[in-house]
A and B are shown apart, each in its own frame.
Chain A
Amino acid sequence: MKQSIFGRVLLLGAALILAAGCSTTYEYGDAGDVPVYDTDFGATDLQAVADKMVTSLLTFPPIVQITNQRRPIIVVEKVKNKTSQHIDTESITDTIRTRLLRSGKFRFLDKSTDSQTIDEIRRQQEQGLTRQDTAQQFGTQEAAEFQLTANLSEISQSKEEFWNKKKAVYYKFTMNLKNLRTGILEWSDEKEISKLEKDPRFGY
């Protein structure tokens, strides 16, 4: 009799655990620790790339020397995406730009909002609503001293065996800082990322 009750309690416990795994649940995660589900370029890779580039640029001795004296103006160009994936590369440069700006060492030009800036200056000058002594003028913006460019490339390899499939993806993100007056590359660095996938054909 005792055994029977014990068995029922066990079965009930097991049923509850199994049933708990059957319903879809939603919860907040840690944005700083996004899980890795595949070998595609993901949020964790973006954070690793941004961290390496920012650390490298802010600690490179000639750049430290320049930023100790002034806050140079940088213009950021779009990343050349040479991978086979659709990657929001603007998100990478946005993160890098935000962290560099918040370090207080650099200033940035934002080319992506130029058309809105032109519209606003034209509105201030032509619509007749703005006091003309306070209206902004064309041709007063500062020019960039440096240009930040980047490439993202990918090499993918896969291997099929009887018992499993393996895939290795290698990413390389290269970033350069060019002096626009002299054309000289003042700084450059790379971040390499390797992601592996192992897909067993049998069991786990």
Chain B
Amino acid sequence: MMRMRNCLSLLAVLALAAGILGGCSSTAGIEGSVTATEVAPGVYEYSEYLVVNNPSLADDIQIVSLHTDFVGDLMRATVTLVSKDSDTQSVKYSFSWYDSQGVEIDMDSRPWFSLVLYGNETKTVQGIAPNPSAKKFKIKLRTE
């Protein structure tokens, strides 16, 4: 009878642990951003920043470069990522675009794309602005 009770207690602890762990995966990630400010016609100054909201993801993946240029009058974002882990990793990324006033463009079309990074691999992802009003981009990275 005592053994039965111990068994039930163990099962209960396991179920509680599984329930709690099930809701533990963080959806916070890393954000990188570049703003282009036109200082003279066709001449831009770029400022970039990086925010790490998930230190454990930042231990595995690093944004090594955030690059912006203009193709015609459309802003293009080129971001280089490197895996700091020797195992294969899957991450998701999404680009969002903002005009010179900081207002987000096409808020409803922000798909998340999957990216597989093999051990210590470097990969580049690219995005193009929805229209010529974009002067800032943001890339968000998170785990699958």
Residues of chain B within 8 A (CB-CB) of A47 are: 111, 113
Q: Which of A7, A10, A51, A59 contacts B111 (CB 8 A)?
A: A51
State whether B130 touches A33 (Cβ < 8 A). Answer: no
Main secondary structure of the interface of A (DSSP, over half): helix
B8, B74, B111, B132 pick with most chain A CB within 10 angstroms: B111
Q: Report B121-144 CB contacts with A as 1/0, cut-off 8 Å.
A: 000001110111000000000000
State whether A58 touches B71 (Cβ < 8 A). Answer: yes
Residues of chain B within 8 A (CB-CB) of A30 are: 112
Q: Report A47-73 CB contacts with B as 1/0, cut-off 8 Å.
A: 110010011001100001001100000
Residues of chain A within 8 A (CB-CB) of B76 are: 59
State whether A67 touches B72 (Cβ < 8 A). Answer: yes
Number of interface residues of B (CB under 8 A): 31
State whether A44 touches B9 (Cβ < 8 A). Answer: no
**A6 and B5 alpha carbons, distance in the complex (Å):** 11
Q: Which of A11-19, A86-94, A122-130, A181-189 forms part of the interface with chain B?
A: A11-19
In the complex, A103 has a CB within 8 A of chain B: yes
State whether A33 touches B112 (Cβ < 8 A). Answer: yes
State whether A14 touches B71 (Cβ < 8 A). Answer: no
Residues of chain A within 8 A (CB-CB) of B9 are: 6-7, 10-11
Q: Which of B11, B73, B110, B130 contacts A102 (CB 8 A)?
A: B130
In the complex, B16 has a CB within 8 A of chain A: yes
State whether A64 touches B72 (Cβ < 8 A). Answer: yes
> When A7-B5, A14-B15, A33-B92 are in contact, do A51 and B130 touch as well, CB less than 8 Å?
no
State whether B113 touches A55 (Cβ < 8 A). Answer: no
In the complex, B41 has a CB within 8 A of chain A: no
In the complex, B51 has a CB within 8 A of chain A: no
Q: Which of B8, B112, B128 contacts A59 (CB 8 A)?
A: B128
State whether A104 touches B109 (Cβ < 8 A). Answer: no
Shortest beta-carbon distance from B8 to chain A in Å = 6
State whether A104 touches B132 (Cβ < 8 A). Answer: yes
> When A14-B11, A14-B15, A44-B114 are in contact, do A55 and B126 touch as well, CB less than 8 Å?
yes
In the complex, A32 has a CB within 8 A of chain B: yes
Shortest beta-carbon distance from A59 to chain B in Å = 5
**A6 and B8 alpha carbons, distance in the complex (Å):** 12
**Interface set, chain B 3-49, CB cutoff 8 A to A:** 5, 8-9, 11-13, 15-16, 18-19
In the complex, B62 has a CB within 8 A of chain A: no
**A48 and B126 alpha carbons, distance in the complex (Å):** 12
Q: Which of B109, B114, B128 contacts A58 (CB 8 A)?
A: B128
State whether B110 touches A32 (Cβ < 8 A). Answer: yes
Q: When A and B form their complex, which 4 residue pairs have the shortest distance between CB atoms, in order from nearest?
A: A17-B19, A14-B15, A10-B12, A47-B111
Can you offer 15 A-B residue contacts whose CB atoms are under 8 A? A7-B9, A10-B12, A11-B9, A14-B12, A14-B15, A44-B111, A44-B113, A48-B111, A54-B128, A67-B72, A68-B73, A99-B109, A102-B106, A102-B131, A104-B132
List residues of chain B with CB under 8 Å of any chain A CB.
Answer: 5, 8-9, 11-13, 15-16, 18-19, 71-74, 76, 92, 94, 106, 108-114, 126-128, 130-132
Known: A33-B92, A58-B71. 8 other contacts (CB 8 A): A6-B9, A10-B12, A11-B8, A11-B12, A44-B113, A51-B111, A58-B74, A68-B72
